[in-house]
Amino acid sequence: MKLSAKNLDIASRGVLLNRADARSIGVLDGDRVQVINPKNGVSVAAFVETTSTIAQQGTIGVYRFTNERLHLDEGTEIEIREAARPVSLDFIKKKMDNGRLTKEEMLTIIKDVVSDDLSSAELTAFIIASYINPLDMDEVEHLTRAMVETGEHIKFASRPIVDKHSIGGVPGNKISLLVVPIIAASGLKIPKTSSRAITGAGGTADLMEVLAKVEFSAGEVQKMTDKVGGVIVWGGATNIAPADDHIIIQEYPFKIDARGQMLASVMAKKYAVGANLVVIDIPVGEHTKVPTLQEGKKLARGFIELGERLNMKVECALTYGDIPVGRSIGPKLEVIEALRVLEGATEPNSFIQKSLSLAGIALEMSGKAARGTGASMAQDILTKGKALEKFRQIIEIQGGDPNVKSGDIVPGEHQFVVNAPSSGYVIGMNNRSLITLARIAGAPHDSGAGILLHAKKGNLIKSGEPLFTLYADRSWRLQNAIEEGRRLMPILVEGMLLDRVPSTSEF
Amino acid sequence: MKLSAKNLDIASRGVLLNRADARSIGVLDGDRVQVINPKNGVSVAAFVETTSTIAQQGTIGVYRFTNERLHLDEGTEIEIREAARPVSLDFIKKKMDNGRLTKEEMLTIIKDVVSDDLSSAELTAFIIASYINPLDMDEVEHLTRAMVETGEHIKFASRPIVDKHSIGGVPGNKISLLVVPIIAASGLKIPKTSSRAITGAGGTADLMEVLAKVEFSAGEVQKMTDKVGGVIVWGGATNIAPADDHIIIQEYPFKIDARGQMLASVMAKKYAVGANLVVIDIPVGEHTKVPTLQEGKKLARGFIELGERLNMKVECALTYGDIPVGRSIGPKLEVIEALRVLEGATEPNSFIQKSLSLAGIALEMSGKAARGTGASMAQDILTKGKALEKFRQIIEIQGGDPNVKSGDIVPGEHQFVVNAPSSGYVIGMNNRSLITLARIAGAPHDSGAGILLHAKKGNLIKSGEPLFTLYADRSWRLQNAIEEGRRLMPILVEGMLLDRVPSTSEF
C-alpha cells in the first residue's frame, strides 16, 4: 500500500497511521515499521501510532525527529513494511543476563542509540542492565570507542591538547571560566566542550552563553581553538559523542549515573576533541555524586586506566564538594564572579584556589611548569591579566563583546534578601536544596536567576544580617522561590530552629 | 497561563504544547506536567511534547489515552503546572539496587502503572530491575495483591470456583475449548478469562471470538457464569488485573517473562475472578518457556506456594510441549478441531488426552471425582455429549449461534499444500517456526489463517504426501507464508536436505 507522507510538526519520533490503514497493513500501535524515502533512499525504522482523524486514510504522518532523518517532502508516496527487530535487543538482553559485551556488540547498540532505532524504553533497559550488572573495563573501553565512533571528531595538527572536566554535582562550580583562559594563555590548546544544566542551576555552557554564542560545529571548535588557543562551547551542538545525550536523558528519572557510563561519557568527549592531557575534577562530599574519598580514588583510578587504554594522560583532582564553589549560583551571577576575579578581585578564595590548582595540574602535565609549580604559574597568568586578555579573545571569537566588564552584567531584577534568623556560625549548607531553590527562581533558563551567598559554612553571622539573596528575572518565580526557601532551609545557622510546632510560615 | 484544550485523536499519552507556551511556562519536551480538568477535578500527570504549528499558542493538545482519563471537552480552559516526580521512581531505584520492596511500595508502583503515571521507559526500568534482581516470594505476593487491588474483582456467592491457565508457548493449545465446558457441565463454575495472542498464532480469546463475543465486563462475566457455569472471555476487556497488560507490552521487545511477574500475573487474574481451585498447565520442552522438567517443577512449586499465601488450592500439570497440541494452528482451524471433538471425533489424541487430564485434575480437586478418576469422569462428560451441550450454552450466553457445527466454520480460502520432499519419519517440528509461519499467513487477526498438520513427530510419511497445509484469508499473505516457509522449514522429515549449495528455492 502506498501512503502519502504528511509532516507532523511534533517533537517526537515515529509515524502516525490511520487506523483503517494500520489494520489493513496488519500493524498495531507500538509496532516498528521500516519507512523508506524513495527520493533519497534513506530508510528508517519508526514506531507506529494510530488515529482515526488526524491522518486521513492513505496518508502517513511522520513526526519531526523521524523526518529530520528521512527528509520526506509533503505528499511523497511511500511504502512501509514491518521492520526487523534490531539485533541490539539481543545484546541488551545479554547484558541483562550479566554477559560481557564485545566491541562489535557495544558498537551495534550505540549505533542504534544514535540513529534512534531503539525506543526510549529499550534504551532504558540497556542503561538499567549496565547499572545493575556493571560494565567491566573492557566494556567501558568498547563503549567509549563506540561513542567516539558514532559522532564527529577533531584532529589537531599538533599536540598536546589539554582538556578539563568536572564530574559535577556542586553548585557554583564555574572554574572553567578561569581554567580555560589560564591554560590557553600559557600557550596550550584547550577546546573545551561543556554541558548545559539538566538537573543543575547552570552548566558551563549556560554560563558562557551570557557572554557569547556557544553553539558551534566540531569544525568551528577546531578553527577557533587553533586561532586563540581555547573555546568554551556547548558540546550538545557539536555532534561529538552524541550517544551520551540520549543516555543521560533516560538516566534522569532515576538520578543514576552508572560508573561505567560516566567514565565512557567523559572520556569519549575528551578523546573525540583530540585531547591527550586531561584533568578531571572529582568533587567529594556528602551531597555530591562521590560521597567518600575512597570512592573518589576508585573513580580516579578508573579514569586513569581508561585514559591509558586510549593513549591519554589523565590526572584527577579530588576536591572539596560539600558546599558551593564561590558565592554565586546561577548563570549571570556566576559570570559576574568569574569576570571580577579575572579583573583582579582576590575573593572568593574557594573559587580562585580551586581554579588555580586544576589549571596548575594541566600546566605541570604538559611540561610548561615543573612539578609543584603549576598553581603558582597559573596564579601568575591570572594576576598579570593574561587570563583576562585571553578570555576576551575567546569571547570575541565566539561572537561576544570582548570589552564586557563584570559591571555590565545585570542579574535578575527581582531580589529577596534572606537574613539570619539567629546569631551563630553557619553550620550547614545543602547543595541539593540550593540548586533546587536556584532552579525554582528560574535558573538556568532565566539567566539572571540564582543565589548569592553572603556567608559560607564556618562563618560567624549575626541575627538579622543577610544570609543569602535570591535573584529572579520574573517576580512570580521569585515568590515561588521565597515560599520554597522557607521549606528547604538550604543554609543552617547555629541555634536556628529546625522546626516549630505548631508551624509558622516565618522564614 | 490558561490553555484551551484540544483533543488529539492519536493513540498515545501526554500533552502537546506550542513551543512558545512551553518556553514561557518553563517546561521542556519530556517534562512531566500535571493537567487538571476544572469541570470534574480529575488530575493527571502527562509528558510534554512540543510543536510550533499543530497546537496554536494558547492551546494544549491532549492525546487520546490521556484524555480518556481527563474527559476534557474541546476548548475547556485548563491550567498546567510542573508535576511532582512520582515516588514510585524511588522504589524502582530501590529494586535496581537489589532492595526488597514492601507491600506499600509495590502497590504504589502498580497504581502508577495502571494510571499511566509512569512512562514506558520508567516501567521498563522496573521490569528489567525485577528481572535481574528477581522478586522473592514476599514481593511476588505483594505484586499479586497489588495487581488484584488495582483492578476489578468478582465475588461469587458460593465456592468452589475453578480456573485453569496454560503458561503458553505451545501452538495449537486450544484445550480451554474442551476443559471449560467439561468443568461447567460437571456442575462446577469456571469464569475463564483468556488472552489474545501477542506473539502467538491465536490466544484462547482469539479462538472463542470465532464463535461468540468475548468482550465483557467483570460484572457480566459473573452473571453469565452464575447462569451457565462457565464463560470464555477476553481478560483484556474486563479490567481485571489491568497492570499485567502494561507490563507484558514492555517485556515484549526482550522476549522476557520474568518468573516473579509471571506468577503474579497468572495468580492475580485467578484471584480476582474469585477462583479457589486452580489448575496450571506448564508445557515443558526445548522450544517452550520452560525447557526442562526440573525448571517446570520449580515453577510449579512457585505457583503452589503463592496459591497457599492467597488461600487458593493450586495443582500444576507438567505437559509435553515440544510439538503442537493437536493438528491445527490458527483461530478457525483450531475451533473446527475442538468442535469436532465435542461432536464426537476421537482424534487427535494429543489434544483430547491433554484436555481430559487437565479437566480431570480440577474434578478431583473439587471432590467431584475421586483421586485417579477425574480424567475418566471428564471423558464421560465429553463422550455423552454433555460438554457439547454446555459449550453451546456458553456460546449462546456470549451472543453467538448455539447451533454452530464444526462444518459451518470455513477456514481461509487461500490454501497451499506442502508435500514431504522425501520419505521417512518426521524427526523435528519447530514450534517457533510454525507460529511465525501462521502469523505471516495472517493469524490471529485473519481468523481463517493458520496451519493444518497432516503428520506429526514420529509419523512415517512418503515422499510427495501432504506434510501440512497453509491457510490464509488473503492471497498475498499466503504467498508471503509460502516464501517464508521455504526458509523456515518448520517440519523436518528424515533424509530431508537441510540446505543445498548453491541454494535452490524449491521447498
Domains of chain B in start order, with CATH, are: 2-82 (2.40.40.20), 88-133 (no CATH), 162-235+264-397 (3.40.1030.10), 414-493 (3.90.1170.30)
**Interface pTM, i.e. ipTM:** 0.84
Q: Of B145, B361, B114, B170, give the one whose Cα is nearest residue B267.
A: B145
**Which residue in B has a C-alpha nearest to residue A446's C-alpha?**
B26
DSSP H or E segment with residue A48: strand A43-51
State whether residue A296 sits within 8 Å of chain B by CB.
Answer: no
Q: Of A398, A401, A407, A397, give the one whose Cα is nearest residue A339.
A: A407
Q: Rg for chain A (alpha carbons), in Å? A: 25
| Residues B26, A445: C-beta atoms closer than 8 Å | yes
Between residues B41 and B26, which one has the greater pLDDT? B41
Q: Is B257 a known active-site residue?
A: yes
| Residues A11, B121: C-beta atoms closer than 8 Å | no
Q: Which residues of B touch A445 (CB under 8 A)?
A: 26
| Residues A96, B254: C-beta atoms closer than 8 Å | yes
Task: Name the active-site residue from A245, A257, A322, A380.
Answer: A257
Which residues in chain A (6-35) have CB-CB distances under 8 A to chain B?
8-12, 16, 23, 26, 29-30
State whether residue A475 sits within 8 Å of chain B by CB.
Answer: no
Residue A388: DSSP 8-state: H
Q: Is residue A323 a contact partner of residue A429, using CB atoms and an 8 Å limit?
A: yes
pLDDT in tens, chain A (507 residues): 789 999 998 888 899 999 888 887 778 888 888 899 988 888 888 999 888 888 889 999 999 989 998 999 999 998 888 788 899 999 999 999 999 999 999 999 999 999 888 999 999 999 999 999 999 999 999 999 999 999 999 999 999 999 999 997 799 999 999 999 999 999 999 999 998 887 789 999 999 999 999 999 999 999 999 999 999 999 988 999 999 988 988 887 887 878 899 999 999 999 999 999 999 999 998 878 898 999 999 999 999 999 999 999 999 999 988 889 999 999 999 999 999 999 999 999 989 999 999 999 999 999 999 999 999 999 999 999 999 999 999 999 999 999 999 999 999 999 999 998 888 888 888 898 999 999 999 999 899 999 999 988 888 899 899 999 999 999 989 999 998 888 888 888 876 555 455 544 444
Task: Name the active-site residue from B245, B257, B322, B380.
Answer: B257
| Residues B249, A30: C-beta atoms closer than 8 Å | yes
State whether residue A120 sits within 8 Å of chain B by CB.
Answer: yes
pLDDT reported for residue B488 = 83
Q: Which residues of B touch A253 (CB under 8 A)?
A: 85, 89, 119, 121-122, 125
Q: What is the side-by-side order of every strand in the sheet holding A460-461? A: A460-461, A424-429, A491-493
To the nearest whole Å, the CA of B225 is away from the closest chain A CA by 32
Cell numbers found for residue B451: 496451519
| Residue bearing cell 520508567 | B122
Q: Is residue A487 a contact partner of residue A456, using CB atoms and an 8 Å limit?
A: no
Q: Are strands A450-453 and A466-472 parallel, antiparallel or unpaired?
A: antiparallel
> For the segment B51-80, what is each residue's pLDDT rounded down to a tens digit?
888 888 999 999 998 999 899 999 999 888
Q: Which residues of B touch A54 (CB under 8 A)?
A: 8-10
- B311: exposed, middle or buried (C-beta count within 10 Å: 0-12, 13-18, 19+)? exposed
To the nearest whole Å, the CA of A128 is away from the closest chain B CA by 6
What burial letters (b/e) apply to A90-114, b meaning 16+ CB within 10 Å? ebbbbbbeeeebeeebbbbbbbbbb
- A434: exposed, middle or buried (C-beta count within 10 Å: 0-12, 13-18, 19+)? buried
To the nearest whole Å, the CA of B249 is away from the closest chain A CA by 9
Q: Which residues of A touch B9 (CB under 8 A)?
A: 51-54
Q: Which residues of B touch A442 (CB under 8 A)?
A: 26
Phi and psi at residue B130, to the nearest 5°:
-80, -15
> What's the CA gap between A76 and A74, in Å, rounded?
6
| Residues B85, A253: C-beta atoms closer than 8 Å | yes
